[in-house]
Amino acid sequence: MCPCGSGLAYDACCGALHRGERQAETPEQLMRARYAAFAKRDAFYLARTWHPRTRPDDVGVDGTRWTGLTVHGSAERGDEGTVDFTATYEGGSLSEHSRFAKRAGRWVYVDGDVA
């Protein structure tokens, strides 16, 4: 199963995005794929989908064991979008209001406010 919580097999869901076979069509789809990339420790996908203006020099992934994702809402207005979610990991959770932008026709993560 895909770590993003879609209920689909990884290869048919976020795996296809991670391999570059297709692009995320919405901010929520990109956020789910980025969560799955954290769960799979795919730093390359995370770097590729992070806006160059806000991307850190080292997009490393640590040993956090991510255990679940709940999307509370998402919105898309033209070339901008937001997603509110809670991601759980062993020992805790992280809630964020994430901002996304379309750049050269592709959605990228800009930044987020952690609650």
Q: Is-contact 69 4, C-beta < 8 A?
A: yes
For domain 10-114, give the CATH number. Answer: 3.10.450.50
* In the predicted structure, residue 2 carries a pLDDT above the cut 90: yes
Contact present, 51 and 67 (Cβ < 8 Å): no
Buried b (16+ CB within 10 A) or exposed e, 86-115: ebeeeeeeeebebbbbeeeeebbbbebeee
User: How is residue 12 written in tokens?
Assistant: 């048919």
Domains in the chain: boundaries? 10-114
Q: What tens digit of pLDDT does each residue of 45-73 get?
A: 999 999 999 999 999 889 899 999 999 99
